[in-house]
Amino acid sequence: MPHGAVRMLPAHVINSHSYLFGLFSPRIPSFRSKLVLERTDDWNAMHLEAEDPETHGGETLDVFARLLPHVGTVFDIGSHTGIYAIMAGVQDPSRSVYAFEPVPRIYHRLRRNISLNRASNVQAFPYAVSEREGDIRLFVPKGQFPTEASTLPGFREPAETITVSGVTVDSFAAEHGCSPDAMKIDTEGTEDKVLRGARRCLERDRPIIICEVLRGLTEPALHTLLDPLGYSYFIITRDGLIAKPRIEGDPTYTHLNYLMVPRDRAGQVLDALHLV
């Protein structure tokens, strides 16, 4: 999200302490398997249960759900509490899913949600995925919902600075002997750095990518990385996918995610999605 934008929850949710406890099963368009998530103080969980999910990123969950039968290994980068990773694991128990979440407090909830869903094929890692390995400074917003942590200095203030382990997609894939067929990337303004550290995998595996694009932060760098590899770009909206010759973050911050597909796979993917 941009510096000045604030995600708002309904007043009845904010004021309801009882909401913060227990489990719930979110309704996700085009996804038939049952999921179980902790409520706790998970912003995404609150919106999924408190309001129509289509008004809060449900369109991206819908695209992801439609995409799953057509992809293999999934990397969920910036997994938060794991809804995408767990969807991928539950939809096909034989699929390998790797979820990355560097905020310690959220990482523990990710692991609990994986356990709740008995998704043994989903592995969670407390790493910040970026363009280099080693220690990385992570800026975690202060407050009840630390959902917008970023390695980008000044992204959200005030923030606590912690040090976490950094990894690249390429080094992780090499170490674990895996190849991403699909990647979901939501790292709050550093998505280009994630892809910069995934150059070998991008060239070799040509994964399908769902990527958050925040206006004015990553667009030119994303083009520099993906144009030479022949990717096509589609913004994910409530009315379906819209092809874009240029990646442009939505100025209203209503539609934050793009589907990025290698051109030679685009026809097959779009036919499978039935969203254009």
DSSP string for 29-60: TT--S---EE-TT-HHHHHHHHS-GGGTTHHH
Q: Looking at 118-122, 149-153, 261-265, which range is the least confident one?
A: 149-153
Tell me, what CATH number does 163's domain have? 3.40.50.150
- Predicted confidence at residue 44, as pLDDT, reads 62
User: Is residue 16 included in any domain, yes or no?
Assistant: no
pLDDT at 151 over 60: yes
User: Is residue 258 included in any domain, yes or no?
Assistant: yes
Q: Give, rounded to a whole angstrom, the gap between the first and last alpha carbons of the chain.
A: 26
When pLDDT is averaged across residues 184-207 and rounded to a whole number, the result is 97
User: Which tens digit of pLDDT belongs to each residue from 40-84?
Assistant: 655 666 666 665 544 456 899 999 999 999 999 999 999 999 999
User: Is residue 243 included in any domain, yes or no?
Assistant: yes
User: Is residue 4 included in any domain, yes or no?
Assistant: no
pLDDT at 7 over 50: no
Residue of 170, 218, 221, 220 whose CA lies nearest to 197:
170
Q: What percentage of the chain reaches a pLDDT higher than 90? A: 67
When pLDDT is averaged across residues 258-265 and rounded to a whole number, the result is 96
Residue 75: which domain range?
Answer: 22-273
When pLDDT is averaged across residues 236-255 and rounded to a whole number, the result is 94
N residues, the chain: 276
- Predicted confidence at residue 6, as pLDDT, reads 42
User: Is residue 155 included in any domain, yes or no?
Assistant: yes
Cβ pair 215, 241 in contact under 8 A: no
Highest mean pLDDT among 12-21, 30-39, 54-63, 191-200: 191-200
User: Which tens digit of pLDDT belongs to each residue from 220-236?
Assistant: 999 999 999 999 999 99
The residues facing 167 across adjacent strands are 129
Name residues whose C-beta falls within 8 Å of residue 16's C-beta, 6 or more positions apart in sequence.
none
User: Is residue 7 included in any domain, yes or no?
Assistant: no
For the chain, what is the mean pLDDT?
87
The total of structural domains in the chain comes to 1
The residues facing 212 across adjacent strands are 257
Does the pTM of the predicted model rise above 0.85?
yes
Q: Looking at 35-49, 132-146, 170-184, which range is the least confident one?
A: 35-49
User: Is residue 13 included in any domain, yes or no?
Assistant: no
- Predicted confidence at residue 257, as pLDDT, reads 97
User: Is residue 173 included in any domain, yes or no?
Assistant: yes
